[in-house]
Amino acid sequence: MKNYVQRGTAVYATAPGGGWLSGQLVAIGRGVGVVGANVASGQTGAVHVQGHFICNKDTGAAWAVGDLLYFNAAGTGPQPGTGSCNKTAGTQIVGIAAKAALSGDTSGEVRLNGAWTA
């Protein structure tokens, strides 16, 4: 197929001021993904939009497998960066909980949905 480019599990985007760190959950326009490797400010890098990842989790609500998760740009957690996931409906869907998590957990396994939100 001569118009094939790639599998589509990642998009390539330019990091904002401050850059991105590997493993950071970031918003790319109306989508959300996990940065594959450190990317300096103004440079282009891979942001994975499909797959299972351990992501920062807001405390206060437990997750059951299959719960819909949303992006919190001001979130906290043990991984680099500030993005996190929660169950509070928002404009950017991250994916679903791939594993149950307790309300006090600061990270959880997420299956990214690979789709942009309208």
Task: Work out the percent of the chain whose per-residue pLDDT is above 70.
Answer: 93
Mean pLDDT, the chain, integer: 90
Residue 39 is classified by DSSP as B
- Residues 9-20: what's their mean pLDDT? 92
pLDDT, position 61: 94
97 touches 53 (CB < 8 A): no
- Per residue in 39-92, pLDDT tens? 999 999 999 999 999 999 999 999 999 999 999 988 766 655 668 999 988 778
The half-sphere exposure of 93 on its side-chain side, counting CA atoms within 13 A, is 15
Predicted confidence (pLDDT) at residue 1 exceeds the cutoff of 90: no
d(CA 59, CA 45): 30
pTM assigned to the model: 0.88
pLDDT, position 38: 95
The domain segmentation of the chain, as residue ranges, is 10-113
